[in-house]
Structure 1
Amino acid sequence: MGKVHKLALAITIIGALNWGVAGIFRFDVVAQFAGGFAEPLARFIYIIIGISGLLNLGLLFDQSRNRHEEIVPVPEKA
């Protein structure tokens, strides 16, 4: 997994935590940080989180593709 995918995964996890806090406590950390959910900075952050989620969707399908590949044993050297 490359640096971009790791960063996207971290951003997606942070976004998920924000949604969890918003659901449990009715407090949106991103909106509070940006001065409101409709502010340009908040919208930019939400867009970045959404793009990160889409990148992680690709990782999900890469994992399922790798499971179906045939594993060929490597002969041991004597």
Structure 2
Amino acid sequence: MDRLALILVIVGALNWLLVGLFQWDLVAALFGGESSWISRTVYTLVGLAGIYCLSLLFRERAVQR
């Protein structure tokens, strides 16, 4: 679950990078615009993954020897 959440957060971060640098929304371009249900689903999954990844900040690290 952690890896899937991190992958979605990375996808979201790269999408925001493209929006910031080139004013181009990759998710909207791939899935038919910002208001299409597929794009909104991707945005929602990325947002939920970001919320889930907040838990990674507060998790205890396993000590490896």
TM-score > 0.5 by shorter chain: yes
Can you list the C-alpha shifts for 1:4-61, whole angstroms capped at 9, x where unaligned? Answer: 0111001101110000001100000000011100110000000000010011001011
Give the distance between the partners of 2:9 and 2:18, measured in 1 at CA.
Answer: 14
Residue 54 of structure 1: SS of its match in structure 2? helix
Is 1:60 aligned with 2:65?
no
| Runs of 5+ consecutive residues of structure 2 not aligned to the other structure | none
Give the distance between the partners of 1:60 and 1:51, measured in 2 at CA.
Answer: 15
Higher-Rg member (1/2): 1
Give the distance between the partners of 1:22 and 1:6, measured in 2 at CA.
Answer: 24
Q: How many residues align?
A: 62
Is 1:36 aligned with 2:38?
no
Query: In percent, how many aligned pairs have the same letter?
Result: 41
| Runs of 5+ consecutive residues of structure 1 not aligned to the other structure | 68-78
Residue 34 of structure 2: SS of its match in structure 1? coil
User: Who is 1:75 aligned against?
Assistant: none
TM-score (norm 2): 0.88
Relative contact order, higher structure (CA 8 A, sep 6+): 2
TM-score (norm 1): 0.74
Runs of 4+ residues over 6 Å off in structure 1: none
